[in-house]
Chains A and B, each alone.
Chain A
Amino acid sequence: MTVESAVNDFTIRVATVNGSGSQSSNLVIANAIFRLGIPVAPKNVFPSNIEGLPTWFDVRVTPQGYQCRSHDVDVLVALNPATWASDLAGVKPGGIVVHEATYPANSARADVTFYAVPFAELAKSHFDPGAMRKYLINMVYVGVVAQLLDIPADAIEAAVAAQFRKKPAAVEINMRAVSVGMDYARERFEKPKRYRLERIAGGTDGLTFMDGNRAAALGCVMAGCTVAAWYPITPSSSLCESFIALCDRYRVDPVTKERRVAIVQAEDELAAIGMVFGASWAGARAMTSTSGPGISLMAEYVGFGYYAELPGVIFDVQRAGPSTGLPTRTMQGDLASVYTLSHGDTKHIVLLPATVREAYEYAMAAFDLADRFQTPVFVLSDLDLGMNAWMTPPLPYPERGFDRGKVLDADDLAKLESWGRYRDVDGDAIPYRTLPGTPHENAGYFTRGTGHDEQAHYSEDAAMFAGNLDRLVRKHEAARAAVPAPEIDEAGNAVAIVAYGTTHHAVVEARDRLRERGIETDYLRVRGLPLAREIAAFIERHERVYVVEQNRDGQLYGILRGEVPVSAIERLRSIRHYNGVPIDAHAIVDPFLDAERPAVTA
């Protein structure tokens, strides 16, 4: 068998048992390789469980800096007897397998190299009994992997120090465990020839790791969000928890201890969204963060916010549905339901971040858009973006101030003879509002979800009702130009790809794979709803347009079909991925080639 070398280009998969504390070790591996200047893409595939179920962590090492999951497993670290057989079966021919020595050998995989390590024995002989010992096993495999792949000790040490920066006392014992693994491997194993790491000078300079939930929380702080109401739900909880941690540090007066924020863990999502609208009505910037099941519960209030025209920001960190689904797996399954959430005719502004930086920037943009358009705004993230660590440049300090939209204060009211809460004064379909507490006798109005006239009085007048719905549509139409514009990479090719959110990262790699086969594609990434007008034009400039997304029903495909001109509809194709695991390039390339084959042969 000829062995082509894979320098800086392979995927390490660690298979362990949930609750064994392996996450820190896996992040140390990722971070140490990153410190060599080599781009990495960590992906945690974990169960909905506290302890006992299988969990996997992939560290993709990639000279091109691909951030999507890899289809292949090159290096397996097997520490879960329950999944040993299937984990082994998944290793690429020529791969290497580090495993607990007590696991049965498998003669069927003569095409991989086995490195048997008595992890339990090593831990027993080197460390005192106690709770720490099982965690230290994880650092032993870090040492074995470091030795086999040639990760220098200083990189490991720096990564361990970074991982335990909040408990420096733990650094020494963890490094000792790393040494146990390194020593064991050095004495017994030859380094694999195929998989090697080579330092890339400056390869990761200016980058750092961050997850999308923390980035979104930073966006909320910088957007001046002062009221957050939430109900814990995976995978969105860490967004609000990050917001809490940031506010504890930056929103508390050092002298008086007064807080410039209110964060409420609500009794359910019905209450969380109610608090958001109550707070935004009273003038605060307010948000909630949830996932699919919470979105379903918020439906009624979101319709109220839409119709009564209240700002509010809702983060939906999507997980795999329907129903409880796979609570700890990723999906883009909420696009359609969020876009038109609630009964009656409703349409919402939805922002679609694909990167950590966009999670931060769209969080800020969401508050501005909510205030400007006086309507609920969704930021649709997903578990992959929200909870995985991504390489990112540091987030820039916002250069723009808040856009609080059309709010009349007492001075404004003094200059006006009258005003109407739902009167379209400027012809842009966006009326003016006042805040409770405004000291002017004309400030008050009656906010309601029932039919209302321009003065916000109850009205069942047919023309009035329809006219108001028409104004809301005009407002929505205007938002097409206000949401983040699509990102377009176009060179006059006949075939194009359209995607959004985290699917983007698999598209990047898929286009390279296709290019290697001589197939050039154009690409448009949708970054918000309602659809920007140039999207339809882009589709019409292409013969075939593949809409790639991580859901079963082709939800963006459906929205496009509903909103683009008839002449564009027939150009649309759909590629869908929905098994809960982040999409990889193969999941695009394979169906793309299948669909294109008739075209190519013709």
Chain B
Amino acid sequence: MNIKFAEEKIFKVIMICSSVLILGVLLYILGTIFHKGLPALTLDMITKLPGGGFYLGKEGGVLNAIVGSFYIIGGAVIISLLISVPLVMFINYYLPAKSVFSAIVRFSLDILFGIPSIVYGAFGFALMVYLGIKASLLGGILAVAMLIMPIMMRSLDEVAKLLSRDLPDALLSLGSTKYEMAKVILKQLMPGLITAVLLAVGRGIGDAATVLFTAGFTDNIPVSLGQPAASLPLSIFFQLGSPVEEVQNRAYASAILLTVIILILSFSSRFFSSKFSKHKI
């Protein structure tokens, strides 16, 4: 009879160990990145473009990659917002609740969500060759938009599903068209929309495989859509590949920058989603 209590205790210990291990791995990752990168992290890293001989260990920073990353993700967010918001409105409020069509759309979103970023990158590049676009900011924006669109849609859809049906019903019964109704509902969904955007930005800004062929790489800040754009993950990757130790150290410092961006995004999306659940009607 005591066996079952012994078993209970043993497994509880194992489970706690496994949870602690996972927490430990997270701390280990963050610790390693910060420990290695902090010594090389200077103000120059954030404020300067790579100077001559930067990749041999001379002066400069990764401003090109920081700005490039934000340009790419900014453009991608705009494109995917233009497609995500109408789509989520349509499957939640235009179609009947148990429509087969919306089930098919949701299933496609699930599948699109699972497609590896390298496939989006390869497809994006093939599309660019077909359209005659060279590796550029525009190409990077398109590829990253493909990657983050399903993320944004699914996250927004989750929030829209939770919203009470009373509000749309009340609006319709007052004689508004569905389009007018959707505009009001969108305001209700705003915190959820922000969370969805932050989530998508976090995923898009750190992904290297999509921008590898599509955005190219440059030491300058792009001034038009047709110019190549650098990005943080690729900058880390290229610097790490260098045999010069100083350049490698700067890769770790750049990794801190990317990690801090991700941490900020993650915590602010947590903040917005908790805010949303407080004011839900």
Verify that A and B bind, or say they do not. Answer: no
Residues of B with Cβ closer than 8 Å to A? none
What is the interface of chain A, defined by CB distance below 8 A to chain B? none
